[in-house]
Structure 1
Amino acid sequence: MSSTTDPRGHARPVNGAALADHAHDRSDRVEANARLTAMVGVVLLVLFTAEVVTVILGAKQVLSAHAAIGYLLIPVVLLKMASTSWRMIRYYRRDADYRRHGSPTLFLRVLGPVLMALTLVLLVSGVVTYIGPSWAHPTALLTHQTSFYLWLAALASHVIAHFLETFRLTARDFLPRRGRIASGPWWRRSGVVAGLAAGVALALILSGHASTYLAQYHHHR
């Protein structure tokens, strides 16, 4: 039997079961974070695919849809960045459970921040292009178009590396028999739904400026 201390500094015995429960709770939060990251990743994969389809069709031809999906992406992307950044911070602060869980390969540790930066550049330049001041339009449009190809290459590498793990972790929340239950599935789902709802609100408010954008586009062309 081991012991711990109470707030007054007195020794207090702790049996093996209590230690096991404490270790399980700490491990559980790592699993919960991984599942949230995976769940958001699945949603982003669907939205990114839809956005790429609008590019293939010709963004100017389906501009309202292209802009709406872009706005819908913003809160979900921020949620994904928050969950992955939390894991990274805990790992580099030497949290024992996150360290025990391990880290990705060096390539993926470099790719993650690169993809995050490119995603931010792509979204911000898209917003500025679409609703920013007219003087910023040419630079923002060039940045948006150029960063898209770099972002797409980074995204493809990221998806290939994490595809199976992402769907496996997501399935554990929706198909409990595929793995142990991790605490907080309702909160994870609610967080994703809230991100999507915020994105829908942004899309409804800001995506209806296609004619203004096209007028600016042709003026600067």
Structure 2
Amino acid sequence: MAKTASTGWRFIRYYTRDPAYCRKGPPRLLLGVMAPILVASTLALIGSGIALAVTGPAPEFLVRVHVVSFLFWLATIAVHVFAYVRRVPQLIAEDWRRRTDRQKRGKPEPLGRRMRVAVNIAVLVLAAFAAVLLLPTAAPWEGWRGQAVTGPGVLAVAVCIVTAIAVLLMRR
């Protein structure tokens, strides 16, 4: 949710013509087109997952919604990850380099960086807490553990691999 909120903030600031956000330019066309699908599939995946945690594996409709939303999410997140994976090390290095330069000059850290780190840590702690709280709901799912992975899941993984290779080849 933190990632969705921060991306939504950048989206709003760019399209309301904030100069600081406009300098970076528009989002990439493919990623901009896929963004609503990624957000919708993420919400459907999380929502159906919570519903299944409450009800167990019995409602076939919820299981199908969860699987289909996962397949859409997996395909779109794969494209998203492969579009940005090369930039991440550079962004991290720049962020830490600027931090070191500020420390050498005796300047304080900007509030934005502290807030970003704090929000990410808070989200991770809340997610871990939620996972521990949901452990008792795992019992009805024990029978699913030994099932073979077949069908659309295998197809989705194959599509993700082909998409990733296509994105990498297009970038060269």
TM-score with structure 2 length normalisation? 0.69
Shift of 1:178: 9.1
Work out which of the residue numbers 90, 111, 134 in structure 2 matches 1:168. Answer: 90
Taking the aligned partners of 1:93 and 1:126, their CA distance within structure 2 comes to 34
Deviation at 1:170, TM superposition (A): 2.5
| Distance in 2 (alpha carbons) for counterparts of 1:177 and 1:130 | 42
User: How much has 1:179 moved relative to structure 2?
Assistant: 8.6
User: SS in structure 1 opposite 2:136?
Assistant: coil
Q: Does 1:152 align with 2:68?
A: no
Q: Distance in 2 between matches of 1:104 and 1:84?
A: 11
Q: 1:183: which partner in 2?
A: 110
Question: After superposition, what is the alpha-carbon deviation per residue over 1:161-187, rounded to whole angstroms, capped at 9, x for unaligned?
Answer: 111223322333334489989723222
Read off the aligned partner of 1:208 and give its amino acid letter: P
8 Å contact kept, 1:129–1:140: yes
Q: Which residue of 2 aligns with 1:101?
A: 24
* Structure 1 partner of 2:128: 200
Root-mean-square deviation over aligned CA pairs: 2.7
Structure 2 SS opposite 1:189: helix
What is the CA distance between 1:149 and its match in structure 2?
1.7
Larger mean CA deviation between 126-135 and 153-162 belongs to: 126-135
Which deviations, in whole Å up to 9, do the C-alpha atoms of 1:59-104 show, x marking residues without a partner?
Answer: xxxxxxxxxxxxxxxxxxx100110000000111111221122112
- 1:87 is aligned to 10
| 1:129 aligned residue (28, 33, 52) | 52
Structure 1 residues 122 and 81, CA, compared in 2 at 3 Å: closer, same or farther?
same
Stretches of 4+ moved more than 4 A in 1? Answer: 177-182
Deviations for 1:13-41, whole angstroms, at most 9, x for unmatched residues?
xxxxxxxxxxxxxxxxxxxxxxxxxxxxx
**What letter corresponds to residue 151 of structure 1 in structure 2?**
W
Q: Which has the larger radius of gyration?
A: 1
Aligned partners of 1:110, 1:180: CA distance in 2, in Å?
38
Contact 1:130 1:213 in 2 (8 A): no
Report the count of equivalent residues: 138
Which residue in 2 is equivalent to 1:143?
A: 65
Structure 1: gaps spanning 5 or more residues:
1-77, 216-221
Whether the 8 Å contact between 1:171 and 1:178 is mirrored in structure 2 is: no
Looking at structure 1, the residues matched to 90 and 36 of structure 2 have their Cα atoms a distance apart, in angstroms, of 23
Residue matched to 1:219: none
Structure 1 counterpart SS, 2:46: helix
Deviates more, 1:101-110 or 1:83-92: 101-110
Change in 2 beyond 3 A, CA 1:141/1:180: farther
Separation in 2 of the partners of 1:208 and 1:120? 23
Tell me the TM-score normalised to structure 1 length. 0.55
Letter of the 2:75 partner, please give it.
Answer: A
Same amino acid, percent of matched pairs = 35
Paired AA for residue 163 in structure 1: V
2:36 alignment partner, one of 102, 107, 113 = 113
